[in-house]
């Protein structure tokens, strides 16, 4: 082996300047946008080839630059060798355009959603959402940012030149095996990266820069700060600008959450500052803390040893360089008009309780439930009356924190354990982090889109939890069509598949007029018989095929696919 001076210089340079320049994803804008989902290879490590998935490239996806009011026609070409979906996380779109687990794109097929951008200026993102595969498809690389602007944002003196003073930062951790291949799912995510760049550096001008942070990790929570402990200014939460900048030295971001921050590097030319995650400050009970559960003896398979857990680590190195031509050098004092929905206007409160499927010390290795049930593609858990203003009260009765996400809407956090939410959460949100034993309440309105055959999702954004059933689905329905207090009903429906007769065990009496069977095209079938016996319903005389059984009463809403063989 030959150790040249050059090697020593390179090694020294890597130590001094970080390993690689930060990758800045390309951008796409306009009214026609094409995304090609593809298999690829990428060198996370110099000279080591990792198999990846990406959109319009080998890793991640282009940043979409859109304006409120734009009408956009998308073509999503699935050039992967497997089925996936693409979901617009945070965008207020119809359920058919939302790209959830029902809207699959087969290998070789294309999907053409089109919609008007209704959202406020903020940073959103897109990612696959195939049930049980979300973690794998996101971890292998498909994730991209969506930057939306509106008139209110455009009128502010903010940095907005992409890649110059306005930087996208997709923060992730991954687990690589001995052959440098991505392992997902995994609790051994010990490699931190920003924009798929391990140990990145960024030449940042000595002025106010804007950073669009996304926690795109499968599970890890980041507690973001700067190594010199200088204050930075959060200007946006998930779905909109804040009313005024939130000056802070730490910002907690759980998976799925975004924040836009301003860092003022004016006068710091020549200095080196690190963007870090101060995970040593995370309390136990958070993925990323020393103990993932709130009890120190609760373990999570593969979680330890991991140098990132409970330790402070670098995400990125800033080399502060000369100013650009017309720099922004001060932080605005006011931002946007933020009008939270009045609590008094709510006409429904729903409670959602998170619990482990198996109790005890090993509960972190099991599944997690919402209101005692696991996800079922065929069950609509909640039917929301159109234009309802609702309070959702989330209570975490498990030992680990869960970032709760809901599709279709942005919400306002009303309280955490009865207290006013912190400044970082006083804006529009679509993910809220709920720590063990906490109760978080938010308020939202279900407007614009109604009566779609496709449901929207709500779920934990820890992708392992989501894939393993910590998810539910809701539809928004015009008020006259449904009563407003449908509850989830876990019915025992068997056998399925059947040869023509199915049994339903329900907890209450059902009027036969509330039991309907539809064929695959949505046509109601009349030709079946019903028998009631001791609270059990028998449906017989079903012809061969695939059917949807629906039971709707004031308290029950069941939609279940039945196969008759
Ligand atoms: Cu970020 Cu249901 O997704
Ligand atoms: Cu989403
Ligand atoms: Cu969870």
pLDDT band at 487 (very low <50, low <70, confident <90, very high): very low
Pick the range with the lowest mean pLDDT from 86-100, 222-236, 503-517.
503-517
What is the Å distance from ligand 2's center to 205 Cα? 34
Q: What is the pLDDT of residues 141-167, one digit of tens each?
A: 999 999 999 999 999 999 999 999 999
Q: Is the pLDDT of residue 427 over 90?
A: yes
Q: Which ligand is nearest to the CA of 408?
A: 2
CA 367 – ligand 3 centroid, Å: 9
Q: What is the pLDDT of residues 243-284, one digit of tens each?
A: 999 999 999 999 999 999 999 999 999 999 999 999 999 999
Nearest-CA residue for ligand 1 atom 1 is 89
Identify the nearest ligand to the CA of 369 by its number. Answer: 3
pLDDT tens-digit map of 400-422: 999 999 999 999 999 999 999 99
Question: Does ligand 1 have an atom closer than 6 angstroms to the CB of 89?
Answer: yes
Report the alpha-carbon distance of residue 412 to residue 118 in Å, rounded.
17
Q: Is the pLDDT of residue 534 over 70?
A: no
Determine whether the shortest distance from the Cβ of 435 to ligand 1 is under 6 A. Answer: no
In the predicted structure, residue 16 carries a pLDDT above the cut 80: no
Length of the chain: 565
Contact of 191 with 173, CB cutoff 8 Å:
yes
Give dist(CA 429, CA 256) in Å, integer: 11
| Higher per-residue confidence, 491 vs 495 | 495
**Does the fold of domain 483-564 match that of domain 343-480?**
yes
Distance 262 CA to ligand 3 centre (A): 30
Distance 435 CA to ligand 3 centre (A): 10
Between these two residues, 319 and 551, which has the higher pLDDT value? 319
Residue 485 pLDDT level (bands cut at 50, 70, 90)? very low
How far is ligand 3, taken at its centre, from the CA of residue 121, in Å? 28
Confidence band (pLDDT; 50, 70, 90) for 17? very low
State in Å: Cα 61 to ligand 2 middle.
17
Distance (angstroms) between ligand 2 centre and the Cα of 456 equals 9
Atom of ligand 1 nearest to the CA of 125: 1
Name the region of 534 (left: φ>0; alpha: ψ -120 to 50; beta: rest). left
60-83: pLDDT as tens digits: 999 999 999 999 999 999 999 999
Looking at residue 364, what DSSP letter applies?
G
**pLDDT beyond 60 at 490:** no
Atom of ligand 1 nearest to the CA of 431: 1
Instruction: Give the pLDDT of residue 328.
Output: 98
Contact, 560 vs 518, CB < 8 A?
no
Determine which residue's CA is closest to atom 3 belonging to ligand 1. Answer: 89
87: Cβ below 6 Å to ligand 1?
Answer: yes
Provide the pLDDT for residue 36: 98
Residues with Cβ < 8 Å from 372, sequence gap 6 or more? 353, 355, 490
Homologous superfamily assigned to 343-480? Cupredoxins -  blue copper proteins (2.60.40.420)
Note whether 506 and 489 are within 8 A (CB). Answer: yes
Residue-range domain boundaries for the chain: 343-480, 483-564
- Nearest atom, ligand 1, residue 100 CA: 2
Rounded to a whole number of angstroms, the distance between the first and last alpha carbons of the chain is 68
Residue with tokens 């969506």: 146
User: Do the strands 182-183 and 222-226 form a parallel or antiparallel pair, or are they unpaired?
Assistant: unpaired
Report whether pLDDT(114) > 60: yes
pLDDT band (50, 70, 90) for residue 552: low
Longest dimension (CA), the chain: 87
The pLDDT of residue 480: 41
Residue 530: alpha-carbon gap to chain centroid: 43
On the question of a cis peptide bond just before residue 141, with omega within 30 degrees of 0, the verdict is no
- Which atom number of ligand 1 is nearest to the Cα of residue 89? 1
Q: Is 296 helix (H, G, I), strand (E, B) or coil?
A: coil
Q: What pTM value is reported for the model?
A: 0.85
Mean pLDDT calculated for residue range 117-121: 98
460 CA distance to ligand 3 middle (Å):
5
Q: Cβ(175)–Cβ(186) under 8 Å?
A: yes
Q: Is 457 in the pocket of ligand 1 (CB under 6 A)?
A: yes
SS3 475: strand
Distance of CA 510 to CAs 385, 504, 540, Å? 22, 10, 16
pLDDT band at 517 (very low <50, low <70, confident <90, very high): confident
Confidence of residue 488 (pLDDT cuts 50, 70, 90): very low
Q: How many angstroms does the Cα of residue 98 sit away from the middle of ligand 1?
A: 10
Ligand 1 near 407 CB (within 6 A): yes
Provide the b/e sequence for 491-510 (b: ≥16 CB within 10 Å): bebeeeebeeebbbebeeeb
Ligand 1 atom at minimum distance from 471 CA: 2
- Nearest atom in ligand 1 to the alpha carbon of residue 457 is 2
432 alpha carbon – ligand 2 mean position (Å):
12
10 Å Cβ neighbour count for 222? 28
Per-range mean pLDDT, top range of 49-53, 515-519, 543-547: 49-53
> Three-class SS of residue 424?
helix
Q: Is 405 touching ligand 1 by the criterion CB < 6 Å? A: yes
At 370, list the tokens.
Answer: 């919402």
Please give the distance, rounded to the nearest whole angstrom, from the Cα atom of residue 472 to the centre of ligand 2: 12
Cα 266 to ligand 3 centroid, rounded to whole Å:
40
Taking the CA of 292 as reference, the closest ligand is: 3
Residue 256 CA: nearest ligand 1 atom is: 1
| Closest ligand (CA of 402) | 3
* 504 or 116, which is more confident: 116
Domain 483-564: top CATH class: mainly beta
pLDDT at 520: 66
Q: Please state, in angstroms and rounded to a whole number, the distance separating the CA atoms of residues 130 and 81.
A: 14
Which ligand 1 atom minimizes the distance to the CA of 90? 1
Mean pLDDT over each residue of the chain, to the nearest integer: 91
Q: Please tell me whether residue 299 adopts helix, strand or coil conformation.
A: coil
Ligand 1 atom closest to 458 (CA): 2
Q: Is the pLDDT of residue 518 over 90?
A: no
Closest-approaching ligand to the CA atom of 409: 2
C-beta 129 within 6 A of ligand 1: yes
> From the CB of 256, is ligand 1 less than 6 Å away?
yes
| Percent of the chain at pLDDT exceeding 90 | 79
Cα separation, 388 vs 347, in Å, equals 7
- Name the residue with higher pLDDT: 510 or 546: 546
């Amino acid at each position: 082996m030959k150790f040249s001076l050059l090697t020593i210089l390179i090694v020294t340079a890597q130590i001094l300047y970080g390993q690689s320049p930060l990758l800045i994803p390309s951008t796409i804008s306009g009214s026609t946008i094409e995304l090609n989902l593809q298999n690829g290879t990428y060198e996370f490590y110099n000279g080591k080839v990792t198999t990846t998935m990406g959109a319009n490239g080998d890793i991640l996806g282009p940043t979409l630059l859109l304006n409120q009011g734009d009408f956009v026609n998308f073509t999503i070409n699935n050039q992967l060798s497997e089925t996936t979906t693409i979901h617009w996380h945070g965008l207020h779109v119809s359920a058919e355009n939302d790209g959830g687990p029902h809207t699959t794109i087969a290998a070789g097929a294309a999907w053409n959603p089109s919609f008007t951008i209704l959202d406020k200026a903020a940073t959103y993102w897109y990612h696959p959402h195939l049930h049980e595969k979300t973690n794998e498809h996101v971890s292998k690389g498909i994730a991209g940012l969506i930057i939306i602007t509106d008139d209110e944002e455009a009128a502010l003196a903010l940095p907005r030149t992409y890649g110059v003073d306005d930087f996208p930062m997709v923060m992730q951790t991954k687990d690589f095996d001995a052959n440098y291949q991505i392992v997902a799912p995994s609790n051994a995510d010990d490699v931190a990266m920003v924009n798929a760049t391990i140990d990145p550096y960024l030449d940042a001008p000595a002025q106010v820069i804007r950073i669009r942070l996304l926690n795109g990790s499968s599970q890890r929570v980041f507690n973001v700060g700067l190594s010199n402990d200088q204050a930075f200014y959060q200007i946006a939460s998930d779905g909109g600008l804040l009313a005024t900048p939130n000056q802070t030295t730490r910002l907690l971001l759980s998976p799925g959450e975004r924040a836009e921050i301003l860092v003022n590097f004016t006068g710091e030319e020549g200095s080196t500052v690190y963007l870090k995650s101060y995970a040593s400050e995370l309390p136990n009970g958070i993925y990323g803390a020393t103990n993932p559960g709130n009890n120190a003896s609760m373990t999570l398979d593969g979680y330890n040893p991991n140098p990132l857990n409970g330790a402070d680590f670098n995400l990125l190195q800033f080399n502060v360089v000369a100013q650009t031509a017309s720099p922004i050098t001060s932080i605005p004092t006011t931002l946007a008009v933020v009008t939270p929905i009045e609590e008094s206007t709510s006409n429904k409160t729903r409670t959602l309780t998170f619990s482990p499927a198996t109790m005890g010390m090993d509960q972190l290795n099991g599944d997690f439930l919402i209101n005692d049930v696991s996800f079922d593609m065929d069950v609509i858990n909640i039917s929301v009356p159109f234009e309802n203003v609702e309070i959702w009260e989330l209570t975490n009765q498990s030992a680990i924190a869960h970032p709760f996400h809901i599709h279709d809407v942005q919400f306002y956090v009303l309280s955490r354990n009865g207290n006013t939410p912190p400044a970082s959460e006083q804006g529009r949100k679509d993910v809220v982090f709920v720590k063990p034993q906490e109760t978080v309440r938010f308020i939202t309105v279900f407007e614009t889109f109604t009566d779609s055959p496709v449901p929207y999702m709500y779920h934990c954004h820890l992708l392992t939890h989501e894939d393993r059933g910590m998810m539910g689905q809701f539809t928004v329905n015009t008020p006259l069509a449904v009563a407003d207090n449908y509850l989830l009903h876990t019915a025992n429906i068997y056998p399925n598949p059947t040869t023509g007769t199915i049994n339903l065990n329900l907890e209450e009496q059902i009027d036969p007029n509330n039991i309907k069977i539809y064929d695959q095209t949505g046509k109601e079938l009349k030709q079946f018989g019903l028998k009631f016996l001791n609270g059990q319903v028998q449906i017989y005389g079903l012809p061969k095929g695939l059917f949807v059984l629906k039971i709707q009463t004031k308290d029950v809403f069941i939609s279940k696919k039945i196969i008759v063989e």
